[in-house]
């Protein structure tokens, strides 16, 4: 009987969701934080067919007669959070055969059925840059994904650019992670690390020149090289270079390489950014940083300080936050902004760092990162102020579809943890135990 009851509920919810895609949905009476523009105390957010139709107050937003009205009095609505560096989805990247592997695609190693994606939804994340690891100088191509529900295959969560190309960057790293003392194909020192990267970019320049010289004569084209193709995309600015780096000297090495080869660069982690914030600003390079409760784990992060974000803001650096999940759990991403404000960053830039700044770093700022007419209907509903530790993510919406609902027992379990919360195949709550594979 319980199974029949649950089936009826599921059918009913599906019908409402399907109808909601056709009919406009209006959240009214909420405090809306659009990120671009001032907060709206008695705000209205109108969405339909996966897009934002209007944002404003009751006096400026005209509600269609067929709109589904949701009274969100006492709630806060802001854009879906954008994570510029994560490892959700159990993605795999380069192997131990060589230190630089730009031909490796995370696209071919992501598990869309991983519960970590749902865990990220419960933290209010809607868009994620999923990375391969940092144990290589180049561990492969990253993947920008939307955390859509009910994904069966990786294609279901991909983001495409205007030309129909799958969007993603490429992951580089320096510092201790890719160093292997004792020789072999991996570098044993920081200087050798930079030399190997420089050598590969020079080869990519030569590969690109040969293609240009060949023109339309196919007989003069060089043999196809997937690794060189990816590096040429980086050289041509078509693929963002996301550079794992911590120490001030390593940060400057990454900037030095960027100046030499002209690729577009996002500095990731930058634990010692506060030491060279003005240099980062001078290079006009954005920085994606992480906040952790208990610094440690490697010597190169011993000088990480909570003032990092404030120092970067003061210097004028475009600054975003990331989770590096599972270094920081995606469910706690909002805390990054709160901790940054406590250490001196402005409230406005801290919220911007969770959303719009990261959207810019992923070349997605025309589509996500703020609540503006025409953008994707990616938003979250909070129980209170986003910087308060007492606030919860109540709902997460991706392209006009609700992908997380705290009032749903299964979603609640994912958000707070417990038995079954991390099971990829099935998730359950105590009151429903026995329903799967049994007759209870």
What CATH number should be reported for the domain holding residue 332?
A: 3.20.20.140
Rg of the chain, C-alpha, whole Å: 23
- pLDDT of amino acid 186: 96
- pLDDT of amino acid 21: 56
Chain-centroid distance, C-alpha 191: 31
Query: Residue 426 above 90 pLDDT?
Result: no
Chain-centroid distance, C-alpha 356: 11
Question: Which of 361, 394, 424 finishes a domain?
Answer: 361
Indicate whether 189 and 228 sit together in one domain.
yes
Query: Residue 15 above 60 pLDDT?
Result: no
Mean pLDDT for the chain? 91
| Count of C-beta atoms within a 10 Å radius of residue 161 | 12
pLDDT band of 248, cuts 50, 70, 90: very high
| pLDDT tens digit sequence for 81-114 | 999 999 999 998 999 999 999 999 999 999 999 9
| pLDDT tens digit sequence for 311-349 | 999 999 999 999 999 899 999 999 999 999 999 999 999
Range of the domain at 39: 2-80+377-432
Task: Return the percentage of the chain with pLDDT > 90, whole number.
Answer: 84
Indicate whether 99 and 156 sit together in one domain.
yes
The answer to whether the beta carbons of residues 355 and 322 sit under 8 Å apart is: no
How many independent structural domains does the chain possess?
Answer: 2
The answer as to whether 428 is a domain residue is yes
Indicate whether 103 and 220 sit together in one domain.
yes
Q: Which residue has the higher pLDDT, 6 or 284?
A: 284
Indicate whether 22 and 147 sit together in one domain.
no
3-state DSSP assignment of residue 150? coil
- pLDDT of amino acid 209: 98
pLDDT band of 425, cuts 50, 70, 90: low
* Reported pTM: 0.91
> Please, what is the Cα angle at 207 between 201 and 208, to 5 degrees?
90
- pLDDT of amino acid 13: 42
Mean pLDDT, residues 302-318 taken together: 95
- pLDDT of amino acid 182: 82
Task: Return the percentage of the chain with pLDDT > 70, whole number.
Answer: 90
Mean pLDDT, residues 147-161 taken together: 96
Query: Residue 10 above 70 pLDDT?
Result: no
3-state DSSP assignment of residue 4? helix
Q: State how far the Cα of 429 lies from the Cα of 407, in Å rounded to an integer.
A: 13
389 by Cβ neighbours in 10 Å (0-12 / 13-18 / 19+) ranks as exposed
- pLDDT of amino acid 294: 66
* Helix or strand holding residue 29 (H, E): strand 25-32
Query: Residue 246 above 50 pLDDT?
Result: yes
Contacts 24+ apart (CB under 8 A), 403-409: 403/121, 403/126, 403/147, 403/148, 403/149, 404/118, 404/121, 404/122, 404/124, 406/122
Q: Rounded to the nearest 10 degrees, what angle do helices 347-354 and 308-315 cross at?
A: 100
Q: Which residue has the tokens 């806060």?
A: 76
User: Where residue 11 sits, what CATH number does that domain have?
Assistant: 2.30.40.10
Indicate whether 267 and 297 sit together in one domain.
yes
The answer as to whether 368 is a domain residue is no
Q: State how far the Cα of 149 lies from the Cα of 122, in Å rounded to an integer.
A: 12
DSSP 430: G
Query: Residue 16 above 70 pLDDT?
Result: no
The answer to whether the beta carbons of residues 321 and 300 sit under 8 Å apart is: no
Indicate whether 417 and 274 sit together in one domain.
no
Query: Residue 214 above 80 pLDDT?
Result: yes
Report residue 382: phi and psi, to 5°: -110, 155
Q: Where are the alpha helices (DSSP H) in 150-276?
A: 190-214, 226-235, 248-261
Indicate whether 33 and 136 sit together in one domain.
no
Indicate whether 57 and 206 sit together in one domain.
no
The answer as to whether 366 is a domain residue is no
The answer to whether the beta carbons of residues 364 and 46 sit under 8 Å apart is: no
Indicate whether 171 and 296 sit together in one domain.
yes
| pLDDT tens digit sequence for 348-398 | 999 999 999 999 999 999 999 999 999 999 999 999 999 999 999 999 999
- pLDDT of amino acid 436: 39
Q: State how far the Cα of 291 lies from the Cα of 275, in Å rounded to an integer.
A: 17
- pLDDT of amino acid 296: 63
3-state DSSP assignment of residue 124? coil
């Amino acid at each position: 009987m319980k199974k029949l009851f649950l089936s009826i509920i599921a059918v009913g919810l599906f019908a409402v969701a399907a109808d909601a895609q056709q009919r406009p949905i209006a959240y009214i009476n909420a405090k809306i934080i659009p990120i671009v523009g001032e907060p709206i105390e008695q705000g209205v957010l109108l969405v339909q067919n996966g897009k934002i139709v209007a944002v404003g107050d009751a006096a400026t937003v005209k509600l269609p007669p067929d709109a589904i009205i949701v009274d969100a009095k006492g709630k806060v609505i802001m854009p879906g959070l954008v994570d510029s560096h994560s490892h959700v989805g159990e993605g795999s990247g380069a192997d131990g055969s060589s230190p630089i592997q730009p031909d490796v695609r995370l696209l071919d190693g992501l598990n869309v059925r991983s519960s970590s994606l749902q865990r990220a939804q419960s933290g209010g994340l809607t868009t994620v840059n999923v990375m391969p690891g940092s144990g290589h100088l180049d561990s492969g191509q990253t993947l920008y994904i939307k955390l859509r529900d009910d994904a069966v295959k990786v294609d279901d969560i991909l983001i495409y650019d205007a030309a129909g190309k799958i969007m993603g960057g490429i992951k580089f790293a320096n510092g201790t992670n890719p160093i292997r003392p004792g020789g072999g194909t991996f570098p044993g020192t920081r200087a050798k690390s930079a030399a190997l990267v420089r050598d590969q970019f020079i080869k990519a320049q030569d590969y690109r020149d040969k293609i240009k010289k060949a023109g339309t004569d196919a007989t003069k084209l060089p043999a196809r090289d997937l690794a060189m193709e990816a590096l040429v995309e980086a050289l041509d600015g078509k693929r963002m270079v996301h550079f794992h780096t911590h120490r001030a000297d390593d940060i400057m090495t990454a900037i030095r390489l960027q100046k030499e080869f002209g690729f577009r660069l996002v500095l990731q982690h930058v634990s010692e950014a506060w030491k060279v914030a003005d240099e980062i600003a001078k290079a006009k390079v954005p920085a994606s940083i992480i906040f952790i409760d208990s610094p440690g784990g490697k010597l190169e992060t011993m000088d990480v300080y909570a003032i990092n974000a404030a120092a970067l803001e003061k210097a004028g650096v475009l600054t975003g936050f990331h989770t590096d999940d599972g270094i920081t759990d995606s469910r706690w991403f909002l805390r990054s902004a709160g901790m940054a404000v406590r250490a001196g960053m402005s409230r406005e830039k801290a919220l911007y760092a969770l959303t719009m700044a990261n959207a810019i770093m992923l070349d997605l700022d025309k589509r996500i990162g703020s609540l503006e007419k025409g953008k994707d209907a990616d938003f979250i509903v909070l129980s209170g102020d986003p910087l308060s530790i007492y606030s919860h993510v109540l709902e997460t919406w991706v392209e006009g579809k609700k992908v997380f609902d705290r009032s749903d027992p299964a979603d609640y379990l994912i958000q707070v943890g417990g038995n079954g919360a991390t099971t990829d195949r099935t998730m359950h709550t105590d009151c429903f135990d026995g329903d799967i594979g049994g007759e209870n």
